[in-house]
Chains A and B, each alone.
Chain A
């Protein structure tokens, strides 16, 4: 398998806080990578650093053979790096359709507003929002807005997709639906990095897991192995989870 994204000793500091410490990580094409860790571990910072929102202070990032360490956010988007936000960021006054159309329009060169709207309709249908196409984004429920984020990210034709807690705040039926969508995307061959706290979803979807703690990678490997790793249990999962897990075999 070839690597699509490579982080080499990437660090990022916010004045006194070292959010990322020399993170070295390779992501393979077609992989569904779970990025887990306690709150404040640096998971979202990692995504922001790759996407150019908070550029790295040191280290290098390579995407698809190209150095993107100092790239601007909009350039990253055009290269095929797309993401959903943990706190949803819709264009509130736009309809759901125009939200997705905007993503298609500005990420693809030579796209017109008309063709972008046509494409947007297909993406809305994929996430099950075609009935809400003309509804303004501000009036959608949280679960719908999360799916709208996903449709926007897909309209950018991503090579690598970051899903930042797409399931946070959803009920179990909604989580199940979102999980199904992620499975479909993975089957379509999109490389996915998902930040997720629901271990059930992580174990269900991911082919590999990395664990961040205090800005450092403390584990990397097969899901079954990682959740038994004592350092991960200590830092994130907790003894209770480990015991329950052991009991279930």
Chain B
């Protein structure tokens, strides 16, 4: 296994120890961190490896949230509902991918963006099933304390993140990952050497959607109430891209670290500059991208030590 991938698993293992040192607030942040990392790692499959800038993350996040919510209301257990959302979104994304991924570059970006709008309107109008604009209440798990609840959702999200990370590592070491990198570099040449680019891209799109949908499902169960403008928020599409760029495009370790850094920035800025938080966050992101164009993974800590010696 590559060293960066090993480092990613070590970071995740450290994250699992969070409940030992933090309270409810730390657990809430930890759950968010895991969720963001799932989105960023997933986006990295289609955006980083295959080079298709997808803005469809919010579409599958919302799809997963609503699929899980509806199934929970129908009386199914949480694990079954989330598994159904995961498989359903893999199939849906694979089929949509076969059509959408014929477009390249900006055209694909806009088409994938429109997917968010289409799904949001479908949910808005299917009032009987989803409650439409009124939102959807999700039954509470009965009889557990606040702390036990927080712990449950933290480890749930962490488990999904671990599964996502293992999927991403397996893909990057496989024939599929090799093929996706070929497609990113030169799709014409990739087809010409016998690579079924349409199939590979569809699988990549499906893989980038399924864990996002599962995370959406767990999010829905966590917050107990979802509405279309919340879970189909376009920011769920944009944030993973920013996180991946901050961490390092194409690198799983980078995507995960980018997600954590983004969450820290978001939280710190929100606390200290409540009136102008979006502006400050934007400036910070632009500054980071300018100073570290290849992301956090391009930092070499050895260089810091070497410099320190000569001081």
Q: Which residues of A contact B (CB under 8 A)?
A: 51, 53, 72-74, 77-78, 82-83, 85, 89-94, 102-103, 105-108, 112-113, 152, 156
Query: In chain B between 159 and 203, which residues have their CB closer than 8 angstroms to a CB of chain A?
Result: 175, 178-179, 181-182, 185-186, 188-197
Is A102's CB under 8 angstroms from B192's CB? no
Q: How far is the CB of A119 from chain B (nearest CB, A)?
A: 13
Q: How far is the CA of A79 from the CA of B8 in the complex (A)?
A: 41
Name the CB-closest residue of B to A138. B185
Q: How far is the CA of A92 from the CA of B189 in the complex (A)?
A: 11
Q: Tell whether A91 pairs with B185 under 8 Å between CB atoms, given A105-B175, A105-B178, A113-B175.
A: yes
Which of A51, A72, A90, A105 sits near B189, CB closer than 8 Å?
Answer: A90
Is B194's CB under 8 angstroms from A85's CB? no
Is B178's CB under 8 angstroms from A89's CB? no
User: What residues on A are CB-neighbors of B181 within 8 Å?
Assistant: 91, 93-94
Q: Mark B33-61, 1 if CB is under 8 A from A, else 0.
A: 00000000000000000000000000000
Is B193's CB under 8 angstroms from A102's CB? yes
Q: How far is the CB of A163 from chain B (nearest CB, A)?
A: 14
Candidate in B181, B194, B196 with the most chain A CB atoms within 10 angstroms: B194
11 A-B contact pairs sorted by A residue (CB < 8 Å): A53-B188, A53-B191, A72-B196, A74-B191, A78-B194, A85-B189, A94-B182, A102-B178, A102-B195, A103-B194, A106-B190
Q: Which residues of B contact A (CB under 8 A)?
A: 175, 178-179, 181-182, 185-186, 188-197
Is B179's CB under 8 angstroms from A106's CB? yes
Q: How far is the CA of A105 from the CA of B195 in the complex (A)?
A: 9
B contacts with A: majority SS: helix
Q: How far is the CA of A230 from the CA of B182 in the complex (A)?
A: 47
Q: How far is the CA of A77 from the CA of B188 in the complex (A)?
A: 12
Q: How far is the CB of B183 from chain A (nearest CB, A)?
A: 10
Is A74's CB under 8 angstroms from B196's CB? yes
Is A89's CB under 8 angstroms from B192's CB? yes
Is B189's CB under 8 angstroms from A107's CB? no
Shortest 6 CB-CB contacts between residues of A and residues of B: A77-B194, A107-B194, A89-B189, A106-B195, A73-B191, A91-B185
User: What residues on A are CB-neighbors of B197 within 8 Å?
Assistant: 74
Q: How far is the CA of A77 from the CA of B190 in the complex (A)?
A: 10
Is A51's CB under 8 angstroms from B178's CB? no
Q: How far is the CA of A55 from the CA of B190 in the complex (A)?
A: 18
Q: How far is the CB of A237 from chain B (nearest CB, A)?
A: 31
Which of A73, A85, A94 sits near B185, CB closer than 8 Å?
Answer: A94
Is A91's CB under 8 angstroms from B194's CB? no
Number of A-B residue pairs, CB cutoff 8 Å, is 67
User: What residues on A are CB-neighbors of B179 within 8 Å?
Assistant: 102, 106
Name the CB-closest residue of A to B189. A89
User: What residues on B are CB-neighbors of A74 within 8 Å?
Assistant: 191-192, 194-197
Is A77's CB under 8 angstroms from B186's CB? no
Is A156's CB under 8 angstroms from B185's CB? no
Q: Tell whether A106 pairs with B189 under 8 Å between CB atoms, given A91-B182, A113-B175, A113-B178.
A: no
Q: How far is the CA of A105 from the CA of B188 in the complex (A)?
A: 16
Name the CB-closest residue of B to A51. B192
Is B186's CB under 8 angstroms from A102's CB? no
Q: How far is the CA of A89 from the CA of B196 in the complex (A)?
A: 17
Q: How far is the CB of B49 from chain A (nearest CB, A)?
A: 12
Q: How far is the CA of A65 from the CA of B232 in the complex (A)?
A: 53
Q: How far is the CB of B181 from chain A (nearest CB, A)?
A: 8
User: What residues on A are CB-neighbors of B182 within 8 Å?
Assistant: 91, 94, 102, 106
Other A-B pairs beyond A102-B179, A106-B179, A108-B194, 13, CB < 8 Å = A72-B196, A74-B196, A89-B186, A90-B186, A91-B182, A91-B190, A94-B182, A102-B190, A102-B193, A103-B193, A103-B194, A105-B178, A106-B193
Which of B185, B186, B188, B194 sits near A106, CB closer than 8 Å?
Answer: B194
Name the CB-closest residue of A to B195. A106
Q: How far is the CA of A107 from the CA of B185 in the complex (A)?
A: 18
Candidate in A53, A77, A85 with the most chain B CB atoms within 10 angstroms: A77
Candidate in B182, B185, B189, B192 with the most chain A CB atoms within 10 angstroms: B192
Q: How far is the CB of A92 from chain B (nearest CB, A)?
A: 6
Q: Tell whether A91 pairs with B186 under 8 Å between CB atoms, given A74-B197, A83-B192.
A: yes
User: What residues on A are CB-neighbors of B191 within 8 Å?
Assistant: 53, 72-74, 77
Name the CB-closest residue of B to A108. B194
Q: How far is the CB of A76 from chain B (nearest CB, A)?
A: 8
Q: How far is the CB of A145 from chain B (nearest CB, A)?
A: 12
Candidate in A73, A82, A107 with the most chain B CB atoms within 10 angstroms: A73
Q: How far is the CB of A233 from chain B (nearest CB, A)?
A: 35
User: What residues on A are CB-neighbors of B178 within 8 Å?
Assistant: 102, 105, 113
Which of A73, A94, A113 sits near B192, CB closer than 8 Å?
Answer: A73
Q: Tell whether A156 pairs with B189 under 8 Å between CB atoms, given A102-B178, A105-B175, A113-B178.
A: no
User: What residues on A are CB-neighbors of B190 within 8 Å?
Assistant: 91, 102, 106
Candidate in A83, A103, A108, A112 with the most chain B CB atoms within 10 angstroms: A103
Q: How far is the CA of A94 from the CA of B197 in the complex (A)?
A: 18
User: What residues on B are CB-neighbors of A108 within 8 Å?
Assistant: 194
Is B185's CB under 8 angstroms from A152's CB? no
